[in-house]
Amino acid sequence: MKEVIATIKDMSKAFPTGPSQFWALKHINLQFVRGEFSGFVGPSGSGKTTLLNILGSLDGPTEGEVEVLGANVHQLSQKAASKLRSEHIGFIFQTYNLLPVYNVYENVEFPLLLLKMDSAKRDKMVKEAIAWVGLSDKIKSRPAQLSGGQCQRVAIARAMVKKPELVLADEPTANLDTENSHHILDTMARLNQELGTTFIFSTHDEKVIKYLKRVIRLVDGEVASDDLASGI
Amino acid sequence: MMQFLIKGVFRDRHRWLLPIIVALAAVSILVFTFSFLEGYKLSFERQTSRFVSGHLKVVSRAYAEMLDMRPYDLALLDIEAELAEWQKRYPQLSWAQRINFGALIDIPDSRGDTRVQGEVIGFAIDLFQDDTEIRRMQLTEALQSGRLPQKSGEILITNIAFEKLELELGDTVTLLGSTVFGAMTMQNFQVSGTIEFGTKSLDQGAVVADIQDIRQMMDMPGGAGEILAFFANNEFQPKEAARISKDFNARYSDPEDEFSPQMLSMLEQGNIGYLMQVFGLGMLWMSLGFIFVLGIVLWNSGLISGIRRYGEFGLRLAIGESKRQVYFSLLVEALFTGVVGSLLGVLLGTAVSLYFNRYGMDMSLYNQSGNVLTENMLYAKLNPITLLWSFIPGVLSTLVGAALAGAAIFKRQTSQLFKELET
């Protein structure tokens, strides 16, 4: 039996809109096990990113409970949430969000600096992560000198360098062409296999959906379908 | 981590350029302004002590009560013996007897009748015993025409009065005044030269005569309205002056005897102490004002830079930094840029100040219309305190600006900052 790493129980999330509230997520019940390669699929405004934010402890639920890697997101202090993210969770974004003034090596090194690791170990891990995404020859390049696909591969290396248990990827292929999208997805699928890292995507890209082993469809903040629940 | 962040600051000129330029400009202005003010203060000190107050002054207790009126009828008389004792007890001081007086100056025509009259203030100083007072009053430098008095009965008159009274060098003038006993007195003098001190209040109409001549005219043998004392290095030392005056008064001053001597430090005379305090407070207020104004400027530049960096902050929060860490790193960046900008500002300000310290600034035009006693050439004066008073506001204002701008990080939801990644 696989280990459960995230559980969402009857969780709802509301945002204030003037005097009333907008319910972005309604009564979500989900469970994720270690090593999953799953994703939230749905149109804009369906609540995909909000759900990823809550799983990444960047936001808390309004109602219900969310437990990620043994921690109740609702009860986490800011410090504890930061620690959870720095040690166990990696993020990949639609727009890469590399720090433009740092080179590839330094961008990938950044998460490890927060973990106060000794420099020799850090150097080994950074170079290893850059090798995973096939950019060892671009180690000194700045983001402006890289293509979109290369930037996203650096972002993947940055998310994976600390070998997190969970990687949250928000529309990671939205700005990429087909070839680069496949390249990125192949890389992530390989890392999922080799390192056993759990990947949860938010996407409406059919190319991504084809790679997912579990698709959770969201419509208007509610789970419309879940492959796991339907036994696919 | 700090090294990593500082590396980022170096590489992103948006982060350092404006704060460093602002700190550099402000601190250099502050250094120069403070050194100029310090030079102005010292010039005021020198000029005031030279003409008015000495570093210390001994007068009778009755005279002290009406110090601003210079009542020479309340002068200390026959004080040679006492003065000799004071000179022995306080060897660090150089003493000068003076009489300041007001008089009518009368210019006769060829028949001996009054052609024109005017009012003058008079400085009676020791012109002939040695040249100490001539050097102290800078009479050689002030001389515009003619020569310094060489014998009894000669006087110097200021240029303005000389022209107004239509005098010629060598003319005889009559000073009319009153003796210390209140009787009318008059004495003829020959104009040996004209002078210009460069300060309006002195140059309007003044005469300089030898103290023996004036003693004779005022009927005050061995007397002096004021006995000024100067430190040997010619620099006012407030603490030492206070110590000496306290000691002097305890020894020689009798509160029951209004003609007993009383020593006053320069700061105890009229509003000189107040003016000196204003200089000090001025520097404090200028520093605080600069922190406030620069803080606002850098707050705004920090806000603009911060808005540009919300995406970066969101990313760093996502990667696992806490808001406190991000905020702290902003302060470290500000400290770095503040220190660099302020150091550069100190260097630039010092260079400009050193230039004006060496070559001075010609203030003669200002002095012609001002009543504050300062020298015509003003030399900026740098000291370590000046540099510190300029450096600290530069760093503090950069920190205040970053602290205010960075507070926006705490006001925003983590997820909102995170969302800015996508914009």
- Residue B174 confidence class, pLDDT cut points 50, 70, 90: very high
> Distance (Å) from the C-alpha of residue B372 to the closest C-alpha of chain A?
56
Tens digit of pLDDT for each residue in B196-223? 887 777 788 899 999 999 999 999 888 8
**Touching check for B315 and chain A: CB below 8 Å?**
yes
Backbone phi and psi for residue B157, each to the nearest 5 degrees, phi listed first: -135, 145
Residue A232 placed within a domain:
no
**Residues of B in Cβ contact (< 8 Å) with A85:** 317-320
Q: Residue A231: its pLDDT value, please?
A: 46
CA atoms within 13 A on the CB side of B300: 6
Distance from CA of A39 to the nearest CA of B (A): 19
**Mean pLDDT, residues B125-144:** 91
**Coil, strand or helix: which one is B129?**
coil
Q: Is A221 left (phi over 0), alpha (psi -120 to 50) or beta?
A: left
Indicate if the pLDDT at residue B414 is higher than 70: no
At A226, phi and psi to the nearest 5? -145, 120
Beta bridge partners of A169: A92, A201
To 10 degrees, what angle do helices B310-319 and A104-114 make? 50
pLDDT of residue B417: 56
Residues 323-382 of B with CB under 8 A from A: 323-325
> What tokens does B333 get?
């960046």
Give the C-alpha separation, B26 to B29, whole Å.
Answer: 5
- For residues B297 and B303, what is the distance between their CA atoms, to the nearest angstrom? 10
Residue A231 lies in a domain: no
Nearest to A138 by CA among A124, A153, A160: A153
Chain mean position to CA B287: 18
Nearest CA in chain A to B317: A82
Q: Nearest residue of B to residue A49 by CA position?
A: B419
User: Percentage of chain B surpassing pLDDT 90?
Assistant: 39
Q: Has residue B247 got a pLDDT over 50?
A: yes
pLDDT value, residue B423: 42
- Cα B161 to chain centroid distance, Å, stands at 28
**Average pLDDT per block of 10 residues along chain A, 232 residues long:** 89 87 92 94 90 90 93 88 91 86 94 89 94 91 92 90 92 84 88 91 90 94 81 45
User: Which DSSP state fits A142?
Assistant: -
From the list A53, A82, A95, the residue facing B320 with the nearest CB is: A82
For residue B273, is pLDDT > 90? no
- Per-residue pLDDT band at B372 (split at 50, 70, 90): low
User: Chain A within 8 Å of B3 (Cβ-Cβ)?
Assistant: no
- Residue B231 pLDDT > 90: yes
Q: Which helix (H) or strand (E) holds B211?
A: helix B211-218
ipTM of predicted assembly, 2 dp: 0.81
pLDDT score, position B120: 92
Other CB atoms within a 10 A radius of the CB of residue A78 amount to 14
Contact flag A114-B421 (C-beta cutoff 8 Å):
no
A110 touches chain B (CB under 8 A): yes
* Adjacent-strand bridge partners of A200: A38, A168
Do strands B206-210 and B114-125 pair parallel, antiparallel, or not at all (unpaired)?
parallel
CB contact under 8 A, A93 and B8: no
pLDDT of residue A143: 93
Compare B284 and B242 and report the one with higher pLDDT. B242
Q: Do residues B75 and B223 lie in contact, with contact meaning Cβ atoms separated by under 8 Å?
A: yes
Span B335-358, pLDDT tens digits: 888 899 999 999 999 999 999 999
Percent of chain B scoring above 70 in pLDDT: 94
**Domains held by chain A: number:** 1
- Please report, for the domain that includes residue A200, its CATH number: 3.40.50.300
From the CA of B5, how many Å to the nearest CA of chain A? 10
| Nearest one of B31, B95, B49, B3 to B269, comparing CA atoms | B49
B323–A78: do the CB atoms touch at under 8 Å?
A: yes
At B368, is the pLDDT very low, low, confident or very high (cuts 50, 70, 90)?
A: low
Give the structural domain span for A15. Answer: 4-226
pLDDT tens, residue by residue, B68-102: 787 878 888 888 889 999 999 999 999 999 998 89
Is residue A106 in some structural domain?
yes
Three-state SS for B315?
helix
Chain B residues in contact with A101 by the CB 8 A cut-off are 7-8, 11-12
